[in-house]
Structure 1
Amino acid sequence: MSTRPPAVTVVGSINLDLIATAERLPTAGETIGGAVLSEQPGGKGANQGVAAARLAGSARMIGAVGSDAHGQRMLSALAGAGVDTADVVVLSEPTGTAMIVVDRDGENQIVVCPGANSHLSLDGVEFDPEETVLCQLEVGLPVVLAAARRHAGYFVLNAAPAMDLPAELLERCDLVIVNESEYALIPALAKAKLVAVTYGGDGSAMFEHGRKVAEAPSAAVAVANTVGAGDAFCSALVLALRQGLDYARALAVANAVGGDAVGHPSSQPDLAPLGYYVERTAVAESVR
């Protein structure tokens, strides 16, 4: 049995995604008919864990599900993707659920019912200093703070959904990942040591203490579903940086992974190994 730490350890949410695909998103008070309903494994944490496992061959998930059929389904989906679920606890609360409306262009509206995610605790969980830990904010901020305090190694925060962040947490982060809306909603990020910002079809950029130090364009893709694209980007960027790629190359690789995810209808899309994207972006760069 290997004693090497997983490629990424994710502390985060595990949800059942209920996705209604419609021609367009409803306005306030409006009812839209003709949608198609699907159920998928989801949650920002689980999405990132699955992406890391598919890209790098291993990942560890720290999270919580309910003792219901949905919880068992989420555990099976994680394990089937190669994620270590030994530290996913099963609680009496219901499994978290996200209600998602997606329009024909892949844009979405999401309401999350956290359920068991709100009761996640790190009691009994240990971290290896060699691990790379990735958190989001769909679990309680105290849990994220506890992970930041207890883990001595590389620590990454995907600061979504946006909220005010304690100075202690920002100072602890080796990397923060946000989209452009979240970057605008969290002014303190302008002082953070390293922040990656995604701009959808306009690519991504890296900032050190508010100064742009690298950027990479995104390729034009047919959009099927944007729900899991940002999560795939997060895992890919973390893995690329930890492999030693420079900021611009790492952003390019993560953009390519996110682009493939956007073109897939699932919140946890199939992905090629990370090396494929490294080679693909190298070829694209060479012909520019």
Structure 2
Amino acid sequence: MGRPLFYDIIEKPATSCIVTICSLIWFVIQKKSIGYSQVGLSYDTAIEGHYWRMITSAFSHISVLHLVFNMSALWSLGVVEQLGHLGLGTAYYLHYTLVLVVFSGVLVIGIYHLLIARFKVDYFRRVTAVGYSCVVFGWMTILSVKQPSSKLDLFGLLSLPISFAPFESLIFTSIIVPQASFLGHLSGILVGYAISWGLIGGMNNYWALTMLGWIIVVFVFSLKKSGAYDFSFLEIESLTDASLPSVRFIGNGRTLQASAVPLSGVEVV
């Protein structure tokens, strides 16, 4: 008899939670017939201030095959949570998952900007990216540096040496999935190398919670400002300088005001 799944779930709690979250989001998207243009990330929507899409795009998937491929790879990469003796472990996994989600999204938009502004490739203005692959490719890269003897198992059928997995998977997905975002996957690889080589480091519980707090603040404010969701307790009013909106929380007769600096196709990642 094989090992019961329950033990793997206990040993990979963060991975199990992320797989569950992505699966539930996919189910809601299918159930409510939500269009991927409503949750995906594109250059134009980022320029318009839809920063919340950086989060929603990462956890949304375009098809069940897309979801299964990403979650199968992620489940295999969850071995990171079991490598506390190498300086990894569950806390490390959570800390740098935050980094991968945000930095890979920022890097994708940065590359799009370069291609549009410098090379006049307007195609990338309207490309809408969805999927967790940026993070998956980032963890492939980190594991290939930290534990090069590991293997990446896909669907329980295909096993790749982790040291070659990032670029093998990059080429493989680009060939068999025409909609696969080469630039999105490459961004995850680049951020993964930056983390594993110590160029992005120093994450601990304090910085992770601080980063998570700012992600939530920007997520909520950009949802409100872009008109994607109406938070009745939150108002954003322009001052004489339109670039410096005032922020007002309304509730229970108490008001808190503060100034704040404002912050085609579908590609699967």
Normalised by the length of structure 1, the TM-score is 0.25
Q: Comparing both structures, which one devotes a greater share of its residues to helix?
A: 2
- Larger Rg, first or second structure (1 or 2): 2
**Structure of higher RCO (CA pairs closer than 8 Å, 6+ residues apart):** 2
Normalised by the length of structure 2, the TM-score is 0.26
Q: Comparing both structures, which one devotes a greater share of its residues to strand?
A: 1
